Amino acid sequence: MNVKQITNSIWNLSGKARLGMSHNMYVIKDEKITLIDPAFLSISKFKKALTQINLTIEDFDLLLSTHWHVDHSSKACLLKKMSNATYMIHEKEKLIIESFSNMAKELGKFKDDEEFFNIWKGFIKLWNYEHCKVTSTFKDGDIINLGRSKLKVLYTPGHTDGHCCFELLGEKQRILFAGDMSPKEYLWNGYATSSFTDYLNSLERLQQEDWDIILSGHFQLYKQEVDIKTMYQKVISILNERDEKILKLVKEGHSTVEEIVQFFPTIRPNGDKWDQFSEYHHVLKHLQRLESLGKIKQKEIEGKVTWK
């Protein structure tokens, strides 16, 4: 696990996760020692990383998750137990953290696909995920007092229904802990309650602000000199291009989600069950967005949902 100091009070703890990409946690040293997105694979490596910043697990006062996904929450319950820290997440995701059955509902129709469900359960097991009671919840605009500094909650749904970012107040620079809302073309929104309309609105909300530093859940640190606004606009443009691609397929007569999925208009397929799961929900969410814009209409014909 790599440790990097970002500011006088912020440290990044990163390493390769079982997703094939880097994962980032952030420690804020203040009167309340805070860990954002508590998820890792090895407790021994995590403890070793903490020694580099003169901390132990017992020092944590506050644990925050930007959203419920296991790569942002898997060790929250373990650390809560070991440190007696407060654990917080958005109010819409409290029940998901507390129950496996509630988490499984996020799979939508794929919950009933035995092969996929077993793959997904294996994925959860790899992270050694624990469920537990959330101490308290937050919502948009809430201020979390850390001591000298504060975190302001920015509700940014879309990737998940309760995704939030945190703006650090009390610093000279405007710093955002972005979770999975960084200005990067990583556009995975494959769970049943994901929403591309909400995702676009959240991207636009973040794009309008002047950030000095964005701390991502998976990617590198972004500073103002890389033109953060332009990067966010590129992500927005990609989503709009996907809308147009799917609209074209509907106009060509491909009227069901199942038909459109065969073209894989939003991801590069690897031929596995996870691709089918992701693409099904991506296509469905784009169709729902196109319907909300008045570009297509949903009809039910002999029990089958079609789009025209």
pTM: 0.92
Q: Greatest CA span in the chain, whole angstroms? A: 65
pLDDT at position 224, please? 67
pLDDT at position 204, please? 96
pLDDT at position 189, please? 81
pLDDT at position 225, please? 63
pLDDT at position 288, please? 92
> Strand order in 86-90's β-sheet?
2-5, 10-16, 22-28, 34-36, 62-64, 86-90, 136-138
| Residue ranges of domains in the chain | 2-227, 235-307
Question: What stretches of the chain adopt beta strand conformation (E)?
Answer: 2-5, 10-16, 22-28, 34-36, 62-64, 86-90, 136-138, 143-145, 150-155, 164-169, 175-179, 213-216, 222-223, 298-301, 304-307
CATH number among 3.10.105.10, 3.30.700.30, 3.20.20.60, 3.60.15.10, domain 2-227: 3.60.15.10
133 is written with which tokens? 């009671």
pLDDT at position 191, please? 87
Distance from C-alpha of 269 to C-alpha of 252, rounded to nearest angstrom: 22
Q: Which residues of the chain have pLDDT under 70?
A: 16-22, 185-186, 224-225, 270-271
> Quick one: CATH architecture of 235-307?
Orthogonal Bundle (1.10)
pLDDT in tens, 158-175: 999 999 999 999 888 999
pLDDT in tens, 90-142: 999 999 999 999 999 998 888 888 988 998 898 888 888 989 999 999 999 99
